Structure 1
Amino acid sequence: MGNVRSNPFTSYGDDGHSCNDDADVASILDRGAMAGRKRPKTITIVSDVSLLLSFLGLFAISVAGIMAPWHILSVSIINGIAFSLAVSARQSLISGLVHREQLRTAVGLSSTTYNAAQIIGPAIGGAMLPLLGPTWTLGASAVLVIPALVLYSSLEPIKHTSVNQAQGSIIENVKAGLTYTFNASTLRFLMLSAMVMILTVGPFQSLMPVFAEDVLNVGAGGLGVLMLAAGVGALIGSISVVAIGDSIGHEKLELIFGLTAAAALASFALSPWYALSIIMVSITAFSATSFMVVNMTVLQVSAPDYIRGRVVSVRFLVIGLMPLGALTMGFAAESLGAPIAVAIIAGIGAVGFTLVQIASRILPIAKPNTSS
């Protein structure tokens, strides 16, 4: 297939956060427990400081002209650990900065800035490379972490969200998060909905190189346009959630966005025309991002302050299933061909979204004990 191939686990994120980190399941859960025990602001700052130091170290090595592959690998590992450390804390921090009725807007804005950075960042980096070279471009990227540190340091949570610090060991807090999540009907259905999205629609970008080269015959250049279309769609999806606000119930929104994402993905898979494929991949990313932002928002509102960090860590554990979805989609594509495989999996996703919504309406809603 040539050099247009990508890592099969390179997958599209959900609520504006990449799923392609180096954190494992235990790491995500442990950091989620830490988010419940420590101040999310502190965890976030420590994470960003580690990123800054790793980038500066790599920059210094590059200036010295002694760069080796293991240096890059080491920084990648540090970045993965830092991401897993901060991923739950960042989400908990958002809920501590706004009132509950503003949470959907806040999460949507957070996702919007991330998706905008996914588009703007590579464009700026691409423009800087021929002007400054890779070493000084790397240095510039390190410097850009500093404003984020200053901004995070200036944040102060509003009073109503002061969190009761979780007690006990990391293992006990992990267990508490899992138990609470799966005993609360609302959270359980939110997790199931997210799981359907992650396993069926979420991994579609892992097969994008196959569609670009083998189905649409547009090569690496065409693949770049498809990926850009997905990024723009995700950005618009984040903005749309902010615009919609709380005017529509989350169950209806999740069903609409979920079914739209599945239908658009099936249309993309079966499309023989490049222009139509660009439109469909953009709609898929738009709908999937909107779905996941709404899903994350409702989850944060539904979880009490004292356990929110651990519940969010379970949510990111669900997101960590995306490589399994990508692997399944890849095996199906090998057997049936990429278009048929993706269309069938998208159809399964549509059925899954519908069944979860039906179940959430006919089964009784149970709430666990919320005492810490």
Structure 2
Amino acid sequence: MFLTYQSQGGVFTTASPRAIPSHSTTQGVAKSTPNSRPVRHMRRGHPLGVLRNSQYRRYWVAGFTTFTGFNMQMLIRGWVMYDLTHSPFMVTMVTAAMMMPMLFLSLIGGAMADRVDRKTVTIVSDVSLLISFLGLFAISVAGIMAPWHILSVSMINGVAFSLAVSSRQSLISGLVHREQLRTAVGLSATTYNSAQIIGPAIGGAMLPLLGPTWTLGTSAILVIPAVILYSSLEPIKHTSVNSAQGSIIENVKTGLSYTFKMSTLRFLMLGAMVMILTVGPFQSLMPVFAKDVLNVGAGGLGVLMLAAGVGALIGSISVVAIGDSVGHEKLELIFGLSAAAALASFALSPWYPLSIVMVGITGFSATSFMVVNMTVVQLSTPDYIRGRVVSVRFLVIGLMPLGALTMGFAAESFGAPTAVAIIAGIGAVGFTLVQIASRILQPAQTDTKS
């Protein structure tokens, strides 16, 4: 499923895994390197077979602990910000401050992923997260928390994620066989999605019992095992990786040129852009809905975030289970439209139980869309430039602050329910237009490396 697409008389079909150029094959490259090591063969076709690989298991658990702590942080930061300012716009600014650096640094991070050891970059990023989490905890203990503290730490976290996210994702290709890469990439999404369940659940439970300060402290502790696990990984060293020539700027230009030259990648980026600017930022306003719209307080906020996380986890696992039985364009249209419809229903729902169901469906559909999108991006890209292409994808994700701020501004102007419903409708139109354009404008040849 998640490969380049051909056009035969106007009909788009899925290319075989063998259509990927040989230079992008993990095993083929690794055999020629002195630092390569055998990776145990796994049964093909089994969705969870890759988890028998101890290297990948450690990678997955490390990501899970990091993102669990991070999701706890973002929940508490949004809650504290709303307590301090009573402004929906300032709540969305927490997400915006964290995502904004991706607009400026993700491309540099992608170039680093193709020049510098990916494992090292990932570890340095997690250490910086740990230090910033402890810093915010200390500020809260001192009783001097102010909005600028929350925004500053969120921006620091954004810098760390932006510089390391391509390395973290591209590291997967050194841990598994090429034939397992589709499953491994899909399952990697469950690290964040399962953390969306556990993180807000822990945070939502601790918030009314212990308060925000000790919840922040707990989230910092969770990053420590992640650093240890990442340090224990032994990824295969590919001859085509970490050997990019020229300056960082030249590497960035090469990545952008490659991405926009390939029609499949172009439309993947456009689809992701629609999701990020419309449906994607919906969780940034969850504190507003919990407090002022549904009147369910901190405990209710935790349940809403839990529902979104459960939906997201089921969505990412479902995409892995679907495999290559359905084309990615059809899946993206289905998931995109269902995410927009569910979000509009959530926004207009006056009943808390219905809101829980709708936010769960939104999480399911939005995450399924993004997992399909990211998997196609990775499998359509050879190893030597994967970090840079992935960074373009995260550059698109870096547009989320624009979507979050637009949603926050509209919520202050028209009220959160009306604003979110209108933006969800715009998203539905956008998903449809991108898929129509991809069928009309995509050239009648398979994208390959020139």
TM superposition score category, shorter chain reference: 0.7 to 0.9
Paired with 1:341 and 1:115, the residues of 2 have a C-alpha distance of 26
Which of these residues, 20, 34, 39, is aligned with residue 117 of structure 2? 39
Letter in 1 for 2:127: V
Q: How does 1:12-161 map to 2 (within 5 A)?
A: 20-21=98-99, 23-52=101-130, 78-124=156-202, 144-158=222-236
Q: How does 1:223-262 map to 2 (within 5 A)?
A: 223-262=301-340
Paired with 1:21 and 1:158, the residues of 2 have a C-alpha distance of 31
Which of these residues, 264, 270, 281, is aligned with residue 348 of structure 2? 270
After TM superposition, give the deviation of residue 33 of structure 1 in Å.
1.2
TM-score by length of structure 1 reads 0.82
Q: Structure 1 pair 364/84, CA: closer, same or farther in 2 (3 Å)?
A: closer
**Residue 104 of structure 1 contacts residue 241 of structure 1 at CA under 8 Å; is this kept in 2?**
no
Q: How does 1:204-353 map to 2 (within 5 A)?
A: 204-353=282-431
Q: How many residues were matched structurally?
A: 362
**Residue 276 of structure 2 contacts residue 399 of structure 2 at CA under 8 Å; is this kept in 1?**
yes
Paired with 1:275 and 1:332, the residues of 2 have a C-alpha distance of 25
**1:246 match: secondary structure:** coil
2:253 aligned with 1:169: no
Q: Structure 1 pair 215/362, CA: closer, same or farther in 2 (3 Å)?
A: same
After TM superposition, give the deviation of residue 51 of structure 1 in Å.
3.6
Partner of 2:449: 370
Paired with 2:248 and 2:405, the residues of 1 have a C-alpha distance of 31
Percent identical across equivalent pairs? Answer: 81
Q: Structure 1 pair 162/66, CA: closer, same or farther in 2 (3 Å)?
A: same
**Residue 200 of structure 1 contacts residue 348 of structure 1 at CA under 8 Å; is this kept in 2?**
yes
Letter in 1 for 2:104: A
Q: Structure 1 pair 349/101, CA: closer, same or farther in 2 (3 Å)?
A: farther
2:74 aligned with 1:8: no
TM-score by length of structure 2 reads 0.69
After TM superposition, give the deviation of residue 9 of structure 1 in Å.
3.5
After TM superposition, give the deviation of residue 96 of structure 1 in Å.
3.0
Which shows bigger deviation, 358-367 or 307-316?
358-367
Paired with 2:287 and 2:128, the residues of 1 have a C-alpha distance of 33
After TM superposition, give the deviation of residue 105 of structure 1 in Å.
2.1
Paired with 2:143 and 2:291, the residues of 1 have a C-alpha distance of 34
Paired with 2:219 and 2:266, the residues of 1 have a C-alpha distance of 39
**Residue 125 of structure 1 contacts residue 137 of structure 1 at CA under 8 Å; is this kept in 2?**
yes
- Cα-to-partner distance string for 1:220-241 (whole Å, 9 max, x where unaligned): 4433322222122222222222
After TM superposition, give the deviation of residue 50 of structure 1 in Å.
3.5
RMSD of aligned residue pairs (Cα, Å): 3.5
Q: Structure 1 pair 169/283, CA: closer, same or farther in 2 (3 Å)?
A: same
Unmatched runs of 5 consecutive residues or more in structure 2? 1-80
2:264 aligned with 1:186: yes
Unmatched runs of 5 consecutive residues or more in structure 1? 12-17
Paired with 2:333 and 2:135, the residues of 1 have a C-alpha distance of 46
**Residue 95 of structure 1 contacts residue 300 of structure 1 at CA under 8 Å; is this kept in 2?**
no
After TM superposition, give the deviation of residue 127 of structure 1 in Å.
7.0
**Residue 200 of structure 2 contacts residue 306 of structure 2 at CA under 8 Å; is this kept in 1?**
no
- Cα-to-partner distance string for 1:37-87 (whole Å, 9 max, x where unaligned): 11212211222334445567788x78xx87976998876554333222211
Paired with 1:291 and 1:256, the residues of 2 have a C-alpha distance of 8
Q: Structure 1 pair 350/126, CA: closer, same or farther in 2 (3 Å)?
A: closer
After TM superposition, give the deviation of residue 217 of structure 1 in Å.
3.8
Paired with 1:206 and 1:237, the residues of 2 have a C-alpha distance of 20
Paired with 1:136 and 1:219, the residues of 2 have a C-alpha distance of 19
After TM superposition, give the deviation of residue 300 of structure 1 in Å.
0.6
Letter in 2 for 1:89: S
After TM superposition, give the deviation of residue 23 of structure 1 in Å.
2.4
Paired with 2:240 and 2:365, the residues of 1 have a C-alpha distance of 34
Q: Structure 1 pair 152/331, CA: closer, same or farther in 2 (3 Å)?
A: closer
Paired with 2:150 and 2:225, the residues of 1 have a C-alpha distance of 24
Paired with 1:176 and 1:110, the residues of 2 have a C-alpha distance of 26
Q: Structure 1 pair 321/247, CA: closer, same or farther in 2 (3 Å)?
A: same
Which shows bigger deviation, 72-81 or 116-125?
72-81
Partner of 1:15: none
Q: Structure 1 pair 282/57, CA: closer, same or farther in 2 (3 Å)?
A: closer
